[in-house]
Structure 1
Amino acid sequence: MKLIWLDNLHRRGVYGFYRSYMPYTRISRKEQIALLINDDEHTFPPDSYIKAEQIIAGLRFRPIGEFNLLNGMLVHPDHRGKGIGHQLMKRVTEKLTSKETYLFSLPHLVEFYRKHGFSQDVQAPNDIEQLFNKYTSQGKDLVMMGYIKVKNQNR
């Protein structure tokens, strides 16, 4: 598996991947997208696009002011239960530490994110808090978490 970061010109396959398995998602051009693909020989760019069939997992970092919101964590259904999500999170750790990063987790995924350095015990900045309140006021059952930088963290 290969980790790639997509630029805005090479996202066509990503839209199909998310439309198939997370149809409510909206991908912003401002978001940074990380993918695990099943083609170790894929050279990226120059002129080739990632196809939806190549994508094993993906996640997106949405800039909110000076912070990041991790969203759109998605593992292809054929690859779930194999530790792929854990691999993806470990491989984007550098991005997690570059800015304060938050996410809005579904309740059953809180423990997954906790294993990767996120905590519910955070005081989020106003921009993040407002977005969280917007989503939860629409009836979405979410848990706000923030990435905690800990030296020698056991993952």
Structure 2
Amino acid sequence: MPYARISRKEQIALLINDVETLSPDSGIKAKQINDDQHTCHYDSDIKAKQIIAAIRLRPIGEFNLLIGMLVHPDHRGKGIGHQVLNGIADKLLSNETYLFALPHLVGFYQNHGFSQDIQAPNDIQQLFDKYTSQDKDLVMMGYIQINN
């Protein structure tokens, strides 16, 4: 998860456990809290141990950069990443949403409508160049279709 301070302009989706303790054997009882009916106020009392997954959309000019997607290690391999991306699908805009994927996650993001075959706008390209000049192995991808 990026450790930069979160801007009020950013959109954040959390998948949280409704019960106080997380147990991998108990099954996941979670809710998404970033839709219109479950918007979470910025000073809400969500405890870190309740967070199963998180994702951030940061505005970069008129575009969005999907950053900080994270699934708790105890819950990986259960389709939760797919659930989170499907949950924010209405926030993903074709030719306006980008991400910098780790190489082993390219196929995952392709399953959700992202492609490497894009021409990124200058603001996004400059940010990508900044990150990759720091020896970070990343793949730029852009959202090009609505996932059905």
TM-score (ref. length: structure 2): 0.79
Residue 113 of structure 2: aligned partner: 117
Residue 66 of structure 1: aligned partner: 62
Residue 102 of structure 1: aligned partner: 98
Q: Percent identity between the aligned chains?
A: 70
Is the CA contact (8 Å cut-off) linking 2:14 and 2:51 kept in structure 1? yes
Within 5 Å, which residues of 2 pair with 1:74-93? 74-93=70-89
TM-score (ref. length: structure 1): 0.76
Q: 1:45 offset after TM fit, Å?
A: 4.8
Q: 1:68 offset after TM fit, Å?
A: 0.2
Match of 2:4 among 26, 31, 39: 26
Is the CA contact (8 Å cut-off) linking 2:55 and 2:66 kept in structure 1? yes
Separation in structure 1 between the aligned mates of residue 129 and residue 39 of structure 2, nearest angstrom: 38
Q: How far does the alpha carbon of each residue in 1:33-88 deviate from its partner, in whole angstroms, 9 at most, with x for none? A: 10011115897657741111111000000100000000000000110010000000
Residue 5 of structure 1: aligned partner: none
Secondary structure of residue in 2 paired with 1:88: helix
Give the structure with the higher percent helix: 1
Is the CA contact (8 Å cut-off) linking 2:17 and 2:51 kept in structure 1? yes
Q: 1:134 offset after TM fit, Å?
A: 0.3
1:128 aligns with 2:107: no
Separation in structure 2 between the aligned mates of residue 137 and residue 50 of structure 1, nearest angstrom: 36
Q: 1:28 offset after TM fit, Å?
A: 2.5
Separation in structure 2 between the aligned mates of residue 64 and residue 102 of structure 1, nearest angstrom: 10
1:149 aligns with 2:145: yes
Q: 1:25 offset after TM fit, Å?
A: 2.8
Q: How far does the alpha carbon of each residue in 1:96-132 deviate from its partner, in whole angstroms, 9 at most, with x for none? A: 1387100000000000000000000000000000000
Unaligned runs of 5+ in 2: 19-29
Separation in structure 2 between the aligned mates of residue 91 and residue 106 of structure 1, nearest angstrom: 21
Separation in structure 1 between the aligned mates of residue 97 and residue 11 of structure 2, nearest angstrom: 13
Secondary structure of residue in 1 paired with 2:140: strand
Point out 4+ residue stretches in structure 1 off by more than 6 angstroms: 41-44
Question: How many matched pairs?
Answer: 130
Aligned alpha-carbon RMSD (Å): 2.3
Residue 133 of structure 2: aligned partner: 137
Unaligned runs of 5+ in 1: 1-21
